[in-house]
Amino acid sequence: MNWFIVLLYFTLITLGLVVALAWANADFIPYLNVRIVDTPNVCIMKSENSTYPIILATVVGVQEWENRLNTYTNSSDWNINFEFFEWKDHEFKEQEDFPQCNVFVVYGKEGEDNTLGATGYNHASSKHKHSTFVIFTHSIQEKQLFANFTLSFNEEGQGEWKAAQFIKKPMPMKAISQIAKHEFGHIMGLLHHNQTMTNNFDSVMYTSFSPFDNSTYYPITDYDLAAVYLLYEGKGFSSHLSPLTMDGFGK
């Protein structure tokens, strides 16, 4: 499958992004000029190596948005549907072969530069308006990042620095859920949250995340929920709002 994957990287480092955006809830959470135009039908495209726990962790992460938004608005206007496709059923197909899907989830093993996830949009140039996010299931443990050279000695006693070989490990399932929450935030139209002196709170949309460090598992906050509420004009997913359209950005 020739999936169109980009862009708003969820990584272990902070990334800069210059885009047209709006600001919500007292300048706390920025959002893109894009939104889902109907009830999200999230199509999870299984890979050859995506296990049941990985799929379940993905669903749990996305469903947290549904539960929190419905609670925040005291409504049932934010429901999310899911469909699941085996690898053999989509391996040689394109997104256009699944017109009922407006959100695709795909999986990879290792992302470049410790990328944990990415999100892309195909709205403005397509009759089949859809978004895609990828979850990478393996990552380097953070402590390895600070030990990237080792000193060894040859037979003549001369020292030589050698680059260490980083081994990427399978991430815990709670990390898969966290990545799914972050990337679905982008799918809905949210940008990254960056802490400042006057913008001092932890958010699932924060730019950095270490899957093996529990202290970086930031929550969906009321600021995130308020930004989604404003972006969708308080009407929920199924209100058939006029689409805001923007296609994905390059790296």
For the residues of 199-242, what is the DSSP string, one character each? B----TTBSB--TT-GGG-PPPPHHHHHHHHHHTTTS-GGG-PP
Cα–Cα nearest to 136, from 103, 102, 164, 113: 113
Read off the CATH number of the domain in which 125 is found.
3.40.390.10
The secondary structure of residue 76, as a DSSP letter, is: S
Cα–Cα nearest to 9, from 132, 115, 108, 133: 115
In a domain, 228, yes or no: yes
The pLDDT tens digits along the chain (251 residues) read 544 333 333 333 222 222 333 333 334 566 676 788 789 999 999 998 889 999 999 999 999 999 999 999 999 999 999 999 999 999 999 888 999 999 999 999 887 777 888 888 887 666 778 889 999 999 887 654 444 555 566 666 666 655 555 678 899 999 999 999 999 999 998 888 765 545 657 889 988 788 888 888 889 999 899 989 988 988 899 766 666 655 443 32
pLDDT score, position 202:
80
pLDDT score, position 219:
92
In a domain, 153, yes or no: no
In a domain, 61, yes or no: yes
% helix / strand / coil in the chain, to the nearest 5?
25, 25, 50
* Residue 57 near residue 177, CB atoms below 8 Å: yes
The pTM for the full model equals 0.80
* Residue 73 near residue 229, CB atoms below 8 Å: yes
In a domain, 235, yes or no: yes
In a domain, 84, yes or no: yes
In a domain, 40, yes or no: yes
In whole angstroms, how far apart are CA 60 and each of 72, 132, 173, 181, 204? Answer: 18, 18, 10, 9, 14
φ, ψ of residue 124 to 5 degrees: the values are -70, -35
Cα–Cα nearest to 50, from 156, 140, 134: 134
HEC states along 9-26? CEECCCCCCCCCEEEECC
Residue 55 belongs to domain spanning: 21-140+170-239
Number of domains in the chain: 1
Going edge to edge, which strands form the sheet with 81-85?
81-85, 41-45, 103-108, 130-136, 117-122
In a domain, 146, yes or no: no
Sign of CA dihedral 87, 88, 91, 93: negative
Alpha helices (runs of H) in the chain, residue ranges in sequence order: 52-73, 173-188, 222-231
